Structure 1
Amino acid sequence: MNRFHVHLNVADLAASIRFYSQLFAAPPAVVKDDYAKWMLEDPRVNFAISNTGRAPGVDHLGLQVDNGDELVALGKRLDAAGGTVIPEEATICCYARSDKNWTEDPQGTRWETFHTFGEATTYYAGDAACATDGAACTPNVAEMNPKVDKGSPCCSPAAACC
């Protein structure tokens, strides 16, 4: 079953944790110095907030799936929708290990589809092999191109590629 994902950038993490804990009537499932996440069942949502220096507001929306086959199916749907789809395999982002697909809708809203298969000790990988922008695990799709090597596990910013 898919789970809707919302990631907000916040100015005050502690105040936001207090607010959303009251709103959701539950504490976050994950709390770090710069990040918190609620895995809610009603509504079924992965709601995350972070304080990583980006402007407050919606960072990206997404769909979390339970397995790799569902991620492949969503990737095909994204491709059929006509946007540029950026695959990102075995990445570290938001204290988790995941395979992902990124795209933007016609308005420029970033969408992430992903399958999480483990935890990580850092917010993001922070290396040239990762497709993230380093500030908040979300690629700037307009500046990204798949690497030439088809066997490569992910994509990277075009400026850093080749």
Structure 2
Amino acid sequence: MNRFHVHLNVTDLDASLRFYTALFAAPPSVLKPDYAKWLLDDPRVNFAISHTGQAAGREPGIAHLGIQAGDADALADLGRRLDAAGGSVLPEQAATCCYARSDKFWTEDPQGTRWETFHTFGDATTYHAGGDASCATGGTDCAPQAPVAGHAVAAPAKAAGCCTPASGCC
């Protein structure tokens, strides 16, 4: 089953942790010094916050929205749906982001809101690929700056590495 995803940039991680822990009546499923994630069943949402956006001058608020796919087949279906919606789609495979390993498709809606569809298949020890410090200053929530126009959607492409347009990290 798929799960709605929301990722917020926050200015005060500790205050936000207290607020969302009380709101959701549950501690985060993942807690790191710069990141927290709740995998909730009621409502069914993957809700994440991070403090990494301020290093790159990102404003607090919505970093991106998305849908977490339950499996690889569901992700492929979401990729086809994104392609049918007419937007540019950026696929990536085995991306390391937000302390997880995932295959992804990124796009933007007509208003420019970034959307991530992804299937997570493992944990990672760093927020970004390789833990490269330049990721924290070059980009902050693993979302690409712009999807690749006219990209055929079949399967996610191999991630090129940290902080390159093809990696989707920055």
Q: TM-score range by the shorter chain?
A: 0.7 to 0.9
Q: Which residue of 2 aligns with 1:61?
A: 65
Looking at structure 1, the residues matched to 4 and 145 of structure 2 have their Cα atoms a distance apart, in angstroms, of 21
- State the 1:157 CA deviation: 1.7
Equivalent pair of 1:92/1:123 in contact (CA under 8 Å): yes
Q: How do 1:4-153 and structure 2 match up within 5 A?
A: 4-52=4-52, 53=54, 54-125=58-129, 134-141=139-146, 144=148, 153=158
Are the structure 2 counterparts of residues 121 and 14 from structure 1 closer, same or farther at C-alpha, using a change threshold of 3 Å? Answer: same
Are the structure 2 counterparts of residues 115 and 151 from structure 1 closer, same or farther at C-alpha, using a change threshold of 3 Å? Answer: closer
- Percent of matched pairs sharing the same residue: 67
Equivalent pair of 2:92/2:157 in contact (CA under 8 Å): no
TM-score by length of 1: 0.86
Equivalent pair of 2:103/2:156 in contact (CA under 8 Å): no
Aligned residue pairs total 150
Deviations 1:25-68 (A, max 9, x none): 01111110100000000000000000012310000000001111
- State the 1:154 CA deviation: 2.9
Unaligned runs of 5+ in 2: none
Looking at structure 2, the residues matched to 116 and 59 of structure 1 have their Cα atoms a distance apart, in angstroms, of 19
Equivalent pair of 1:3/1:44 in contact (CA under 8 Å): yes
Equivalent pair of 2:102/2:120 in contact (CA under 8 Å): yes
CA-based RMSD of the aligned residues comes to: 2.2
Where is the strand percentage greater, Structure 1 or Structure 2? 1
Counterpart residue type for residue 80 of structure 2: K
Equivalent pair of 1:124/1:134 in contact (CA under 8 Å): no
Deviations 1:81-129 (A, max 9, x none): 00000001001000000000000000000000000000000001157xx
TM-score by length of 2: 0.82
Looking at structure 1, the residues matched to 71 and 22 of structure 2 have their Cα atoms a distance apart, in angstroms, of 31
Runs of 4+ in 1 over 2 A off after TM superposition: none
Are the structure 2 counterparts of residues 151 and 65 from structure 1 closer, same or farther at C-alpha, using a change threshold of 3 Å? Answer: closer
Looking at structure 2, the residues matched to 151 and 93 of structure 1 have their Cα atoms a distance apart, in angstroms, of 15
